[in-house]
Structure 1
Amino acid sequence: MKEPQITVGILSGKEIEFFLPESFVTPDGTMASGIQKAVFQKGKIYWQGKAYNELSFSPIQDTDTFFELKDVTIGINFHWERKETQRFKGSLKIIVEEERLTAINVISIEEYLTSVISSEMSATASLSLLKAHAVISRSWLVHKLRTRNILNEELRMKDETLGMATRKENTVGSSSSTSDASLIKWYDHEAHTHFDVCADDHCQRYQGITRTSTPQAIEAVSSTRGEVLVYEGEICDTRFSKCCGGAFEEFQNCWENVRHPYLTGQRDASAIHLPDLTIEKEAEKWIRTSPSAFCNTQDKRVLSQVLNNYDQETIDFYRWKVSYTQQELSALVHKRSGINFGEIIDLIPVERGTSGRLVRLKIVGTLQTLIIGKELEIRRTLSPSHLYSSAFVVDKEGEEGQVPTRFTFTGAGWGHGVGLCQIGAAVMGEQGYNYKDILSHYYPGSVLEKQYE
């Protein structure tokens, strides 16, 4: 196969401001440079007094040409959310999407990856970590492109057969096996229908050439060019998160009920037994203590290699605490879920995954009771942005037999915990493990395979 080009959704809005420092050209041959603005009006894109259904700008100079987009939101819905002006190589495409405009970057996959590993972490990380991350970012993306092509072909054939359009939903609800009502959701990347991936943490963090790429980051991508992880002939769905909290979660406990053998529960350490954290007693002991693991580190030098400046605003991530008063928690759950539980009486673990992360949680209120899941839905419901993870235990304060006055969450890890743990992998790199060692630790049973030159 040839090196793919991909489309990355960067931002959306009623207006999009951008800057072309050198000449770019549109498909109809119009030349453009300098400060530009596209505006959404009456279902069209208005630019320089003309209406378009779609608008694109391609550089006519060498590959170092870039364009700038203003007011790009990074960290969407996270505690460090903010806006930046960002620079991107490749082409700019603007489309109409849901009564607004969306700016899309069209770029080669290898150029994209150089930015991703510099955006997901500091480009000063060890070469072993950067190479491992280049491989998993490439694997995840190529897997996604192939899966989308298969789904599109299946939908096309079904459309021809049934004479109607069919769309796969990526948010799924199901009933609990108990008598309690339940709301079980997971969130994946098929929500993007007009581009391959978004530029934020929902997919992979991508900030163009805004973050400086060091020679080491460029080497990490070029020296692994075309390499992906494969398991039994299929490209791996190589998920990753900031900090697993000492134990890996399994895919099916966060997303659809499909088990990937290379995304399995084990300890983030070398040859040390992992307790069965699906058992509540074992999970509570694990979360309330600080077991040894690669990602159990306070080494600021190592963390600075993994965490960009805004990520370093998060101090505690291996083990953390969050506390709410009754009033704060009941108001928060109502706002985030849209459901009025009344006062919160209890939060009861129903099911945990292999890392101790909650897959299903029962919320007991004075007005109603509901089981929610999976892990991201739990994190979203119990925080103004996101809890660091769903691996937590809850302590209640107040008079016995009365509605609790305060809830304190003690938690483990940062993110879903599936696949590569970025902080654990950084420590492995510092300890002398090469990138192949890192990959086989986090994706056991997988092998490297070159897809293109």
Structure 2
Amino acid sequence: MLRPVALVLLLLAPLRALAVETLRIAIEDTGGEVKVSGRGLAFGPDSEDASFVPIPSGQAVIRRRGAKLEVNGAPVVDGSVRFRAGAAASSDAGVPGDEPIKAGGAQVRGDVVVRPYRDGLQLINVIPLEDYLAAVLGSEMPVSFPPEALKAQAVAARTYALHKKLEAYSNAFHLGSSVLHQVYGGVNREDPRTLAAVEATRGQVLTYELAPIEAYFHASCGGRTESGHDALQRDLPYLQPVDCPCGKLPASRWKASMSDAEVKSALKHPAQGLRVSGRTPTRRVLSVTLGDGASMGGVELRRRLGYTRLKSLDFEVERTDRGYVFSGRGYGHGAGFCQWGAKALADDGWDYQEILSHYYPGAELQQLY
């Protein structure tokens, strides 16, 4: 059941001030020069109440000069500079711009901050949470999936983002844009179906003891999800193994062949003799013994052999004349929300609330704003 709640969270402070929840997403690290463009482009300091100066040409070249920045050849007083496009650029309301901005290789909504980072520059997208989610859905889940599956993914992604924001509240950015957090592809990943799913669940989050949960998700679990402890070293009550219909889908099955030379190069151990020596209660590989007798954890094995080749740890391995054949089920770490399972459940008539309750047992769906 969906209940309104007043969460005592730091994230409510910007919500009250701006009437919109925002995130800071690290979208690109570049060299010493980057171009930013947009209709009605303006720039100012990196603060919520900044005043912005219009750039008539709608284009800016930002260069790093030592520890300082230049915008179109003029030095910047502050350590970083923030760009905004659209009608909001002329106001001091603190709401990110309403016109897309092209920055480096990305096109995004909201504002773009450029700051010195290591030996080059870093681009940070300051974006309303709901706009961010529409692009995340188009990057993380096929937009052809049923509406109820997309809604469930929207709630999971919103919850995950808010949890990460709380963890990194005082940092320069809250999340990255790659698979290490949530894949975020900017404006080009939006779709009418993702926009509809985000709007239908606006402000809804999953909580446990009145805090946003760690809403991990993955593509396919292969028939049973993994515990948070075994998948991610996160022993959480709402990340427990549950049965899942994705195991019956062809998309959950995979095979990968690797030669002895490939395995030896990746593992830096003799390849011959690799065998599974331990499994979790859901039958995922916990550890392997290598050809020289050394032991390696399943998570490390998958990292070294490659996530796209060894798609999950739910696999059997067979020795061949020249190497190994890995036959597996699922794609991803297996904890929490299963995207292909959500599709199957939605096809069977489940609504998004039922889907979320299944994959995050004990978590509550609540209205944050």
The 5 A counterparts of 1:10-409 are: 10-14=27-31, 15-27=33-45, 29-32=52-55, 33-52=57-76, 53-61=79-87, 64-71=98-105, 86-149=106-169, 194-214=172-192, 216-256=193-233, 258-268=234-244, 293-298=245-250, 317-334=251-268, 341=269, 343-365=270-292, 369-373=293-297, 375=299, 377-383=300-306, 387-398=310-321, 405-409=322-326
* Equivalent in the alignment of 2:351: 434
Using the alignment, how far apart are the partners of 1:31 and 1:91 within structure 2? 14
Task: Return the alpha-carbon distance in structure 2 between the equivalents of residues 447 and 409 of structure 1.
Answer: 38
The CA deviation string for residues 201-256 of structure 1, in whole angstroms up to 9 with x for no partner, is 11111112112320x43232222221111223332111000111111011112323
Report the counterpart of residue 361 of structure 2 in structure 1: 444
Relative distance call for 1:35 and 1:422 in structure 2 (3 A) is same
> Is the CA contact 1:16–1:38 (under 8 Å) kept in the aligned structure 2?
yes
% identical aligned pairs: 27
Q: Counterparts of 2:65 and 2:286 in 1: how far apart (Å)?
A: 43
Q: Deviations over 1:144-181 (max 9, x none)?
A: 222345xx7xxxxxxxxxxxxxxxxxxxxxxxxxxxxx
Distance 2:267 2:143 in 1: 38
> Which structure 1 residue ranges, 4+ long, deviate > 6 Å from structure 2?
none
The CA distance in 2 between the partners of 1:384 and 1:133, in whole Å, is 22
State whether residues 379 and 387 of structure 1, in contact with CA within 8 Å, keep that contact through their aligned partners in structure 2: yes
Asked whether the 8 Å contact 1:248–1:354 carries over to 2, the reply is: no
Displacement, 1:11?
0.8
CA contact (8 A) 1:199 1:206 kept: yes
Say if 1:10 and 1:198, in contact at 8 Å, map to a contact too.
yes
Q: Distance in 1 between matches of 2:290 and 2:181?
A: 29
**Structure 1's 51 and 391: CA in aligned 2 closer, same or farther, altered over 3 A?**
farther
How far residue 264 of structure 1 moved from its aligned partner, in angstroms, is 0.5
Cα distance in 2 for partners of 1:18, 1:355 equals: 49
In the alignment, which residue of structure 2 is the partner of 1:420?
337
Q: Is the 8 A contact 1:25 1:60 kept in 2?
A: no
Residue matched to 1:175: none
Residue 17 of structure 1 aligns with an amino acid whose one-letter code is: K
Structure 1 letter corresponding to 2:236: H
TM-score, structure 2 normalization: 0.83
Partners of 2:307 and 2:337 lie apart in 1 by: 26
Deviation at 1:9, TM superposition (A): 0.7
**Structure 1 SS opposite 2:81:** strand
Q: Specify the code of the residue in structure 1 equivalent to 2:35.
A: E
Q: For the Cα contact (< 8 Å) 1:8–1:196, is it kept in 2?
A: yes
The one-letter amino acid of 1:202's match is: L
Contact preservation (8 Å) 1:91, 1:105: yes
Which blocks of at least 5 consecutive residues in structure 2 are unaligned? 1-11, 46-50, 89-96
Contact 1:296 1:424 in 2 (8 A): no
Q: CA deviation at 1:121?
A: 2.0
Separation in structure 2 between the aligned mates of residue 55 and residue 198 of structure 1, nearest angstrom: 19
Q: CA RMSD in A?
A: 2.3
Instruction: Tell me, in whole angstroms, the C-alpha distance in 1 between the residues paired with 2:34 and 2:112.
Output: 11
Q: CA deviation at 1:91?
A: 0.3
After superposition, the C-alpha distances for 1:395-422 in whole angstroms (9 at most, x for unaligned) are 1134xxxxxx311111111111111111
Q: TM-score, normalised by structure 1?
A: 0.68
| 8 Å contact kept, 1:355–1:417 | no
Q: Is the 8 A contact 1:361 1:371 kept in 2?
A: yes
Relative distance call for 1:360 and 1:34 in structure 2 (3 A) is farther
Are residues 51 and 208 of structure 1, via their aligned partners in 2, closer, same or farther at CA, if it must alter by over 3 Å? same
How many residue pairs match? The answer is 335
Opposite residue 322 of structure 1, the aligned amino acid is A
CA offsets 1:113-159 (integer angstroms, 9 cap, x no match): 1221122123343221121111111111222222345xx7xxxxxxx
In structure 1, stretches of 5+ residues that fail to align are 72-85, 153-192, 269-292, 299-316, 335-340, 399-404
Structure-2 change in CA distance of 1:419 and 1:88 (3 Å) = same
